[in-house]
Every structure is written in structure tokens, then in C-alpha cells.
Amino acid sequence: MGNKYYSEQVDRFEAVIRKNQEDFIHSEDDIDPLIKMALIHYQFEAIHPFPDGNGRTGRIINILFLVFRGLLDLPVLYLSKAIIERKSEYYRLLREVTEKGQWQQWILFMLEAVEETAVFTRERIIAIRNLMEETMEKARQELPPHVYSKELFELLFRQPYTKGKFLVETGVAKRQTAAEYLKELEKIGVLKVQKIGRETAIHGEGKKRAYKERNPDYIRINTFVRQIQQL
């Protein structure tokens, strides 16, 4: 009986804490959104609501909050790289907020992480844009005219691998010609066929370079492509 009562009290207490955080996230106030993001992130990590995955979830909340507040149009600013590279400092500052109420250094750390990630992400976007332009120029010169199209390369850069099925579903090629298109792309070195289990994945050779320094939280290439025209 005692254990049941204790469990109910804990559940009720956790529900109050979570409700408090939800209210804070949605509250109208004069706190700068980046500073508020740092406060929300600390609060979530301090609550630690899940047995596993709290770090990843906390980092996702960061970016969703920035989208929610209109600082981002798309969720492309993942702080994972900046945080993981300074992991010991990150945990030390979290602990100092809890034990000593040291908010200033924690907030500065998160603001620096945002700045570093913004620069890194912009560089990745530019690198992918340049790679896309180089690849399209190479293909324009080396592919048969009936294979090359802007739509084909937009599709290739939308995800890290492709299949003939994708070309057909998006109207880039007909079922009878999709395999030919992919073979021509492989022939000029744009794509490489790789067997993964029962699946045959066709990867962009150039895109491997663009993915080498990606954030630990996977950033899908299509989010970059949508931002390219805004640069």
C-alpha cells in the first residue's frame, strides 16, 4: 500500500513538472528566444523524463523551439556537434546550474553553441550547393541529353541514396528508362552501386564528402537543398 501511494505521488509530481515546462515554452514573455531556449534545455535535462534518449530529445527540443518562435523556417540548426565536442564542459555547466545556480556561464555556453552551429551549417549548405552545381555541370557535359534534367539532380541531392523506383515515383523517369538513367550516372562517376543486405543502394559519390562532417543528429540533405536559394 505504501509503495503504491509513493508511486502515485511521484507520478503526480512529474506531471506537475512537465506541465510547468510546457507552460514556460508556450508563455508570452520578453525573454530573448535564444536565452529562453537555453533555460528550456536545462529544465528538460534536469527533469530527465525518459530512461534513455534525453540528450537527443533535448537537442531536438532546442531546434523545434527556435522554429516555433520564428527564428528558423526549417529545423536545420542541430546543436549536437557543438555540444558533443565540449561534452565535459556541457555537463559541468548543467551541474553548476543545479548545485550553485550559475546560470550565466550556462547561457553563454548555449549561445556560443548556436553561433558555432550556425557558421558550420551555413558552410555545409554552401558546400552542398557548390557540389550540386559541379555535379550538374559534369553531367551536362557527359550524360546523353535525354538523361540529363534539373529535376533528376534535385532528386539525387534530396537524399543520400536513390533507386529507380524514386525516379519513377517523382516523374523524373519512366519505369522503362529509370534503370538506364542510373547506369549512365554510374558510368560517369556520379553514382556508385552498393549492396546492403537485400537492398541495392545507389549512393552519390560526391555527396560522401558533404556527409563526412555532418552533425551526430542526422541532417537530411533535402533540408539543405530547400535553403540553397536563400543564400
Range(s) of the chain covered by CATH 1.10.3290.10: 2-120
Supply the CATH classification number for the domain 2-120. Answer: 1.10.3290.10
Residues carrying CATH 1.10.10, the chain: 124-228
Task: Work out the angle between the directed axes of helices 103-142 and 33-47 (0-180°, nearest 10).
Answer: 100
pLDDT, tens only, 104-138: 999 999 999 999 999 999 999 899 899 999 999 99
Confidence check: pLDDT of 23 > 60? yes
Q: CA dist 131 to 13, 54, 137, 228, Å?
A: 52, 35, 10, 12
Taking the complete model, does pTM exceed 0.85, yes or no? no
How many residues can be counted in the chain?
231
Question: Quick one: cell of 40?
Answer: 528550456
CATH 1.20.120 for domain 124-228, yes or no, is no
Q: pLDDT band at 96, cuts 50/70/90?
A: very high
